[in-house]
Structure 1
């Protein structure tokens, strides 16, 4: 019996087809590189699972006695007129150095220009000043937290 040069390739392809059929794979890609560097590249992939079907609708019964009022929508601190937002992306520090007292806290009275906290960006410590005089009603960030541009930091009223 004579063998053809491609018989090994055909056997290999059949073996791959069997693997594809018997597994959860959806695609097998093979590339053979001949020459100085005789190489075979095989890529296997699996199709993304189909999303589960939506739950069947359930007939709702209305019992006014059992109805619970929906909770009030959470207050968006960025919409508060006294919100001071971050002018940059960085890390927040509430005190000038570790172990020191914080610049401000809830109930602190501040004047325009007073430092509220520091936002470190690219190893530069940026002091965030109070845009107006008032009382700090809430500190919305934790020391060492990462903040994005526009994230609310404190509320001054």
Structure 2
């Protein structure tokens, strides 16, 4: 990480994100050296919407309740954006998301768990730092929207807590 934060670094990162979108890439990694012990490592990742086999049965169970009325378009029910859900917990940073503190350990939460505001629900590793991510509200974990160990981007919905 650079010892100095400059507007040029921010512009550089924004330019990388623009290149990512323009060229339909999923990831860009760049290292920018400033001096012998001063550099900036940037990894920009675009999260794809992936449905894992574990999520597929849950989606099938939820689908009848989400079916539109006779006059509503079917796409509205299928393309429901979890980021717009009032109980969405979104990623505060780019990194790798984990459901437990270490491999093989009990996960912080599973679907159906009740959590209190401030409880750690996952960890995001960013620049070799493990960041504990707290629940933003009290409630029940209804959906987990990422796969353990997957890359997440800033603002990506991670969980639904109702």
TM-score range for the pair, normalised by the shorter chain length: 0.5 to 0.7
| CA–CA separation in structure 1 for the residues paired with 2:144 and 2:121 | 10
TM-score (norm 1): 0.55
Residue 111 (structure 1) aligns with: 116
Specify the alignment match of 2:47 in structure 1: none
Cα RMSD for the two superposed structures: 1.2
SS at match of 1:72: helix
Give the drift of 1:70. Answer: 5.0
Q: Return the match for 1:132 from 137, 141, 161.
A: 137
CA distance in 2, matches of 1:75, 1:101: 30
- SS in structure 2 opposite 1:101? coil
Runs (4+) of structure 1 exceeding 4 A deviation are: none
**Cα offset, 1:147, TM superposition:** 0.4
**CA distance in structure 2 between the partners assigned to 1:136 and 1:142 by the alignment:** 15
Answer with 1 or 2: which has the greater Rg. 1
How far did 1:71 drift? 2.2
Structure 2 spans left out of the alignment, 5+ residues: 1-71
Q: How far, CA to CA, are the matches of 2:96 and 2:83 in structure 1?
A: 18
Q: Which runs of 5+ in 1 are unaligned?
A: 1-68
The number of equivalent residue pairs is 89
CA distance in 2 between partners of 1:79 and 1:95 (Å): 26
Say which of 148, 152, 156 aligns to 2:153. Answer: 148
**Which residue does 1:99 correspond to in 2?**
104
Alignment of 1:10-25 (within 5 A): none
